[in-house]
Amino acid sequence: MAEEINYLIPWLVFAVPILGALLMPVVARFGNRIRDYYAISTTLVSAILCALMLPLAIAGESFHHQVMWIAALDITAGVLADPLSILMANIVGWLSFSIMIYSLGYMKGEENMTRYWFLMVFFIGSMQLIILSDNFLQLFFGWEGVGLCSYGLISFWNKDLKKDYVGTVGEKAWGIPLAFSPTHAGSKAFLMTRVGDVSFLIGILTLFFFSGTFDFVKLSESHGWAVDLAQSGLLIPVALFIFGGAIGKSAQFPLQEWLPDAMAGPTSVSALIHAATMVKAGVFLIARIGPIFVTAVENVATIMPFFEFVAWIGAITAFLAASQAMVSKELKKVLAYSTVSQIGYMMLAFGVAGLTSDFVFAYTAGFFHLTSHAIFKAALFMAAGAIIHGTHTKYMTEMGGLRTKMRITFVAMTIAAGSLAGIPFLSGFWSKDAILASILGVESSLTLISLYAIASITAVMTAFYSFRMIGMIFFGKPSKYIKKMESDGKHVHEAPVIMYAPYVILAILTLGIGLTGPTVEGFLEGSLAHHLEHSVHMEIHHHEFSLNRIAVSTSIIAVIIGCGSSYLFYIGNKMSPNQVITSIPILSKLQNFFENRWYINSLYYIVFINGSLRLSKFTDKYIETGTLSKLNTVVPNYSITSSKYGGRFDRYVVDGTATRIANLNLFLSRNIRKLQTGIAEQYVFVFTIGIIALIILLG
């Protein structure tokens, strides 16, 4: 028996927040309190609507509704509610709602809250638009919408005061500063993701040219386009161009540099955008197009290079970002790098899906990790916000010993960090384990070994930095900074209930998913597999859930190594990390290299920003105002001089035309003619040369 839902529900999921946001300035007139509750209630309504679609997902069914959009070009708009989008919509909807509530406490007393709520709610609507769209074009609108809101929210504190900077002012790598003001960070995020968007647009437009549609359902039902694309050698390029969009949005290598600096925004924003939702858009996109490409090609091997590329980008990013998280001094930056790294993990899983015979297993693993990560990372960010709020510092080195002062936060954050580290019986353990297990299914052994090795090393690093963070914040002795604060009479205390309630609930959820891990995974797999088999017509291998022994032992060993070493350094304080690093030169070099972000950021600034400024200055100076205006003076002067000697012909041609124009000048203005007679010849001359050149060219 097929489940039925009202066709309006999926539309309303994004329409309510988007329209709600547009009304925000009007509602704000009725008072701040009403505005705040109004903002939250729009996201609540949207979340409830998402929940109403859940039965459909549980049954593994899908719902598709379309209306005509641009009739002349046969382009439709529509919603596609299948298990993937419904589950994703619920994650986004409910996490957003909890973060909105948290915002009430965190942003209390801030100015410009109408703008804040507008951007947050519009953001949530755009995100849901991405998720529920049934075609690339409509998805792209949401895609740009989240980019736009993210830009506005990162630069929310747009006075660019020194206290709002991300990074330590004064630190430089290769002469490029490593600290960014909020508006700088916002522009950087927008521009870097735009690079990805450009690639995305090229991809979908080329795809449209070959297939004549943007529609996901039509794309997966017809196969001709993939054959045509493959014949013209464009199948892999098109897929990679589309993936470029995901690289930008999800901050994957080589476009990962914007996300750490996006921490210049309020922490609630970081929790919403840079952990739970927007950066997941790229992962979602791959989850959306992966099955389409697999079913569209006749032979899966033709699309393999694409999945291999995705897997490698994911693996590289996971490793790269984890290495930077290990040395970061700023609390939010640890979380930012860890987000980049974990998303790399998800990309790895979705890439691996196309490389194994068991597509759904890796696909589910990726989606499961997306779910568990969204929950615990949102909790981590919100808890971090509470700590920063309480201590007024962003540096972990200025915290320490907070476990007695913020007990609730301590417990919640430790659970979430444990999940990130992959401690058994927390949600992250199961999902990370599933990814490791799915890598073991890769058919090529060289790829298998290298990907598995990178993933395992990253797991060790993840465990290490998770507990380094917990140790530096909550254990050890209070820092000088905290002591000074206390002696000044400002005591660090627990966050208000409206702030800690959301992350406590999410921590409990993490625990809950952890205790029922295999069941959750089985449910996700059942739902996604049913849909892929019956609606997308993929071949599915059904199998019973079983733990892969190699994967489980790897992840447990990784946790022991990672957590053990961080315990020694930061929690038990058996060894001083600084002493160890200074005594081994290679370690301090590595630390420097990681802290300078592998110099990738500096390289980009030198090549792209300074480079294009130089190109622009050069063009402006030597071509626009140089050559072109010089032509206006030198050429005519020269031609006039030479015509003096050169005889009548020149004079006749050049002056003859000039006289004609000069006569008209007379008619218009005697004055101006006097000033400008010289110019007439110049242009006539330049044009004559131009026309001759063109005739030669065309002839």
Partner 1 sequence: MMVDASFPLISVLIALPILAGLAIPLLFKNSQKYIIHYAVIVALIELAITFYSYGLILTNGSGGEYNFVEGPVTILGNFGIDYLVGMDGLSGPLVLITSILTLLVLFGSRDLIEDRKVLYYSMIFIFEGSIMGVFTQLNMILFYVFWDVVLIPMFLFIGIWGGPRKRYAAMKFFLFTFVGSIFMLLAFILIYFNVTPHSFNIPEVAGKIPLSLQVISSVLFFIGFGVKLPVVPFHTWLPDAHVEAPAPISVFLAGLLLKMGGYGFLRFNIGLLPEASAQYAWIFILVGIITMFYGAIVAIVQTDIKKMIALTSVNHMGFVMVGAFTGTVFGISGSIFQMFAHAAAVGIMFMLSGYLHEATGTRNITVIKGLKFTSPRLATLLILGSMAAMCIPIFSSFISEYMVILGAIQVNPIYALIVAVPAITVGYFLWMLRRVVMSDLKPGTKKWDLSNISTIALVLYLVPLVLTLIAPWLILDVANPISTFYAALVSGGAA
Beta strands in 394-446 (DSSP E): none
| Cβ proximity to partner 1, 115 vs 651, nearer residue | 115
Joined tokens for residue 591: 């630390």
CA–CA separation, 232 and 669 (whole Å): 62
Does the footprint of partner 1 cover residue 628 (CB under 8 A)? yes
- The answer to whether 485 and 354 are in contact (CB under 8 A) is no
Query: Nearest distance from residue 7's CB to partner 1, in Å?
Result: 20
- Rounded to a whole number of angstroms, the distance between the first and last alpha carbons of the chain is 71
Does the footprint of partner 1 cover residue 198 (CB under 8 A)? yes
Select from 191, 411, 538, 581 the one that contacts partner 1 (CB under 8 A).
191
Select from 38, 208, 306, 376 the one that contacts partner 1 (CB under 8 A).
208
Does the footprint of partner 1 cover residue 140 (CB under 8 A)? yes
Does the footprint of partner 1 cover residue 617 (CB under 8 A)? yes
671: which residues sit within 8 A by CB, 6+ positions away? none
CA–CA separation, 272 and 127 (whole Å): 11
- The answer to whether 62 and 83 are in contact (CB under 8 A) is yes
Select from 62, 96, 183, 601 the one that contacts partner 1 (CB under 8 A).
183
Does the footprint of partner 1 cover residue 443 (CB under 8 A)? no
Query: Nearest distance from residue 605's CB to partner 1, in Å?
Result: 13
Using CA atoms, how far residue 52 sits from 4, 180, 371, in Å, is 11, 43, 19
Using CA atoms, how far residue 417 sits from 317, 445, 688, in Å, is 20, 33, 73
| Cβ proximity to partner 1, 26 vs 672, nearer residue | 672
Does the footprint of partner 1 cover residue 655 (CB under 8 A)? no
Which of these segments, 48-56, 197-205, 482-490, 508-516, binds partner 1 (CB under 8 A)?
Answer: 197-205
Which of these segments, 64-72, 79-87, 367-375, 576-584, binds partner 1 (CB under 8 A)?
Answer: 64-72
Q: What is the CA radius of gyration of the chain?
A: 30
Closest CA to 441 of 590, 569, 299, 541: 541
Select from 136, 190, 363, 570 the one that contacts partner 1 (CB under 8 A).
190
Select from 615, 626, 638, 647 the one that contacts partner 1 (CB under 8 A).
615
Binding mask 554-593 for partner 1 (x = CB under 8 A): ----------------------------------------
Could you tell me how far CA 532 lies from the centroid of its own chain? 26
| Cβ proximity to partner 1, 144 vs 650, nearer residue | 144
- DSSP reduced 3-state for 166: strand
| Cβ proximity to partner 1, 244 vs 314, nearer residue | 244
What's the half-sphere exposure (Cβ side, CA atoms, 13 Å) at 209?
11
Select from 108, 159, 477, 589 the one that contacts partner 1 (CB under 8 A).
159
CA–CA separation, 266 and 518 (whole Å): 36
Binding mask 216-245 for partner 1 (x = CB under 8 A): ------------------x-----------
Query: Nearest distance from residue 642's CB to partner 1, in Å?
Result: 21
CA–CA separation, 642 and 634 (whole Å): 12
Question: What region does 74 belong to: left with phi over 0, alpha with psi -120 to 50, or beta?
Answer: left
| CA geometry: angle 22, 143, 135, nearest 5 deg | 105
Query: Nearest distance from residue 481's CB to partner 1, in Å?
Result: 27
Does the footprint of partner 1 cover residue 629 (CB under 8 A)? yes
CA–CA separation, 235 and 250 (whole Å): 23
| CA geometry: angle 444, 446, 449, nearest 5 deg | 105
Closest CA to 491 of 402, 552, 360, 361: 402
- The answer to whether 79 and 138 are in contact (CB under 8 A) is no
Select from 109, 586, 668, 670 the one that contacts partner 1 (CB under 8 A).
668
Query: Nearest distance from residue 121's CB to partner 1, in Å?
Result: 15
Does the footprint of partner 1 cover residue 684 (CB under 8 A)? yes
Query: Nearest distance from residue 397's CB to partner 1, in Å?
Result: 28
CA–CA separation, 152 and 117 (whole Å): 11
Query: Nearest distance from residue 459's CB to partner 1, in Å?
Result: 36
DSSP state of 599: G
| Cβ proximity to partner 1, 436 vs 680, nearer residue | 680
In the complex, which residues of this chain contact partner 1 (CB under 8 A)?
Answer: 69-73, 140-141, 144-145, 148, 151, 155, 158-161, 183-184, 187, 190-191, 194-195, 197-198, 201-202, 205-206, 208-209, 234, 612-613, 615-617, 619-620, 623-624, 628-629, 632, 661, 664-665, 668-669, 671-672, 675-676, 679-680, 683-684, 687, 690-691, 694-695, 697-699
